[in-house]
A and B are shown apart, each in its own frame.
Chain A
Amino acid sequence: MPKMDYIDAIRLAMKEEMERDEDVFVLGEDVGYKGGVFTTTKGLLDQFGEERVLDTPLAESAIVGTAIGAAMYGMRPIAEMQYSDFMFPATNQIISEAAKIRYRSNNDWNCPLVIRAPIGGGIFGGLYHSQCPESVFFGTPGLKIVAPYTPYDAKGLLKAAVRDPDPVIYFENKKCYKLVNGDVPEEDYTVPIGKANVLREGDDITVISYSLPLHFIMEAAAELEEEGITAHVLDLRSLQPLDKEGLLAAARRTGKVLIVHEDNKFGGIGGEVSAIIAEEMLYELDAPIMRLCGPDVPAMPINPPGEKFFMLNKDKVKEAMKRLAVY
């Protein structure tokens, strides 16, 4: 099985889906001739032509709006938000239109749309290139949200998103692009949306996370194992719908739960995960549920010490894991 970078797995997924289905097309800012600012869509224009790889104006609302119309007409658009920070002009289209079309039309219409948006910081991106907007869309029924961490899931989830009959937001982590490398099968496969994945088994603590922080968690878990602490690590993969059974099973394994995400703590995914655990399995908890998240400040600072303070890293994660383990 070939090893590949996270970003290559995303590109491969788009390429394969466009080859498989003529209705699949991509649109976004600089996705065509430039091949995307991160080279995610590099080579697609050459292979599929201008009609299926559209360079759009700098207007996210228009990108999503156009994609919604095409999707309702039967196409399978993949709309790219250059950075998830730029996604907010399209929020009305996403929340008030895409998410509600099936419900509003009493099932007559649907909207098989994929919105790809790179999230996360730690790339010297400052306020407008580092945000994690999951919590903005998380509470909207009608949307599906995935956030892969492994290259395998990056490919499999993007393919699943393209084939899904409803709007899917695909949050790819831009720091993972070149950082995370892993096995990706050459053949066609999908990863089911709404299914979490156990990355590592352990008996002392359960760590639940998604996206980049899992990288730190896996590193910390390896180090902690040498100290005699074994961590059970769950990758949520899908944020909406959450894999309730999966996360409860993982939490039950140890009764000690740490939830980690880069998005800020207050109102984040961790609060919902924590609430589900508290609702369903209070009597199996062995420690207060812990969260380790980005600080509740308006944005990622551009100055390096500030960015370092804001970002999670292996040491922060390890310390939190240890604290929970000795509790």
Chain B
Amino acid sequence: MKKMTEIVMPQLAESLVSATIDKWLKQPGDAIEMYEPICEILTDKVNAELPSTIQGTLAKILVGAGETVPVGTPVCLIEETEEADEPQVAATANRSSASPAPAAANASASERAAVRAQASSRPSAGSADGDDSMRHRFSPAVQQLAGQHNVNLTYVEGTGLGGRITRKDVLAYVEAGSRNAGSSASGGASAASAGMPNLNSREPVRSTGLHLSETPRIPKIEIEGQQLPGRSEYFIDVTPVRNAIARNMRQSVTEIPHAWMMMEVDVTNLVSLRNKLKEDFMKREGVNLTYMAFWVKAVVNAIKDFPIMNSVWAVDKIIVKRDIHIGLAVGTEDAVKVPVIKNADQKNIAGLAREIEDLARKTREGKLTLADMEGGTFTVNNTGSFGSILSYPIINYPQAAIVTFESIVKRPVVINDMIAVRSMANLCLSLDHRILDGVICGRFLQRVKENLEGFTLDTKLY
């Protein structure tokens, strides 16, 4: 889509009323960068270069060298190239001449133009500069008048700021419409229908920024910044997923009084166990034997001993859930999702490993269904997978607590007054302090720790 923009003679000094073009530095057809000088100007007070206020191509020179014009007079036209999707579509459609679509589009466009021309012959200050940011913001007065006179605002020319339809625009339109209707009474049916396009039109009238009958557009995430000079920031559209994450996180943090604790666990035996079994397991089951399966098993067994961890705050009561459905926080590049292992307490380590692998794959491939993510009663997050050794998780609302497993690191540890190198990891727990207190959580985390440290080389996966 191409747009012509006028460059006007600027006011170079306070008392200046006119200026002379000395020399054109650019000729029609030349490409022009933003702020690039396009001509030289002479005045009584200063000689200066006139920089372009936009980027584009010089289309036409309106004031020749040597001419003197008042301040505010357009001196040239610059053609801007807008990057929009529609023209490309139209262009491809035109090339495939078999398609009837362009003809229809042209017809409706010319129809529109005719109606607009009829609606108003006044010059439109707002839309002339191409800014129609206010085109669809209707003041109460405009809406009331439109209602009274049954005017479809789509057809009214906006002469206000940013193409806004003013109260006077509606009044002028109504007056023009009634004039047309009067003349068309003798003129014929076609004129009458053209004069009152509003009566039977089904065209939706926008009354807010978001049209109710319009499907909300899915914004794409913009990775690269816009290459506008002088802009030090760029925008990323908030995706529905991002929005949902933001909403849930905020609700959790504002509603739930979070408390936090951490315990250190010695997983040396677990590391040995997994190293011993993982290749065999891969061969036999075709899935990775991850630490996650052991973590989940340890947590589920601890929840069995402390059922209150698996509960929800309901203001006048606490709802304790009998079924244990463990949510796994799985991060992707741009979001975090929490697929759920249903009835995790009824699965052995092998079963958990298989299900974890399954859910993780679905998450990465973006194939999670709503059913995969529903019904979680407790959440675990393997923050160690991205190298964290300590984190402060936000509870997955409305659950009572969340546990993270941090990186396993080898550290010198004192055992029986001797220093040993052990594989250590941290367990972090955020809790809803309305439901849970330090003592119960301490015991729970202690139990998780015992379960993890209780894995030995003899532990059975099945």
Chain A 182-215, CB within 8 Å of chain B: the 1/0 string? 0000000000000000000001100000000000
Chain A residues lying within 8 Å of B161, measured Cβ to Cβ, are 326-327
A287 touches B139 (CB 8 A): yes
A284 touches B160 (CB 8 A): no
Chain B 164-180, CB within 8 Å of chain A: the 1/0 string? 10111000000000000
Question: Chain A interface: which size bin?
Answer: 10 to 19
Chain B 148-192, CB within 8 Å of chain A: the 1/0 string? 000000000000110010111000000000000000000000000
Q: Is the CB of B142 closer than 8 A to any CB of chain A?
A: yes
Q: Is the CB of A16 closer than 8 A to any CB of chain B?
A: no
B141 touches A286 (CB 8 A): yes
Chain A residues lying within 8 Å of B160, measured Cβ to Cβ, are 326-327
Q: Contacts A204-B168, A254-B167, A326-B160: A284 and B125 contacting too (C-beta < 8 A)?
A: no
Chain A residues lying within 8 Å of B125, measured Cβ to Cβ, are 326
Q: Is the CB of A32 closer than 8 A to any CB of chain B?
A: no
Q: Is the CB of B144 closer than 8 A to any CB of chain A?
A: yes
Chain B residues lying within 8 Å of A327, measured Cβ to Cβ, are 160-161, 164, 166
Q: Is the CB of B140 closer than 8 A to any CB of chain A?
A: yes
Chain B residues lying within 8 Å of A256, measured Cβ to Cβ, are 167
B144 touches A283 (CB 8 A): yes
- SS of A interface (majority): loop
Chain A residues lying within 8 Å of B164, measured Cβ to Cβ, are 327
B166 touches A284 (CB 8 A): no
Chain B 246-272, CB within 8 Å of chain A: the 1/0 string? 000000000000000000000000000
Question: In the bound complex, how far is the Cα of B141 from the Cα of A203, in angstroms?
Answer: 14
Question: In the bound complex, how far is the Cα of B169 from the Cα of A287, in angstroms?
Answer: 13
Smallest Cβ-Cβ distance to B126: which chain A residue: A326
Q: What's the minimum C-beta distance from B121 to chain A, rounded to whole angstroms? A: 16
Chain B residues lying within 8 Å of A204, measured Cβ to Cβ, are 168
Q: What's the minimum C-beta distance from A290 to chain B, rounded to whole angstroms? A: 13
Question: In the bound complex, how far is the Cα of B166 from the Cα of A327, in angstroms?
Answer: 8
A284 touches B168 (CB 8 A): no
Q: Contacts A326-B125, A326-B161: A283 and B168 contacting too (C-beta < 8 A)?
A: no
Q: Is the CB of A4 closer than 8 A to any CB of chain B?
A: no
Question: In the bound complex, how far is the Cα of B144 from the Cα of A254, in angstroms?
Answer: 14
Chain B residues lying within 8 Å of A254, measured Cβ to Cβ, are 167
Question: In the bound complex, how far is the Cα of B166 from the Cα of A64, in angstroms?
Answer: 51
Please give me the 7 A-B residue pairs with the lowest Cβ-Cβ distance, nearest first. A286-B167, A286-B141, A255-B141, A283-B140, A286-B139, A255-B167, A283-B144
Q: Pick 16 A–B contacts, CB within 8 A, sort by A.
A: A255-B141, A255-B167, A256-B167, A283-B140, A283-B144, A284-B144, A285-B139, A286-B140, A286-B141, A286-B142, A286-B166, A287-B166, A326-B125, A326-B160, A326-B161, A327-B166
Q: A-contacting residues of B (Cβ < 8 Å)?
A: 125, 139-144, 160-161, 164, 166-168
- 4 new A-B pairs (CB below 8 Å) besides A285-B140, A286-B141? A284-B144, A286-B139, A286-B140, A286-B167
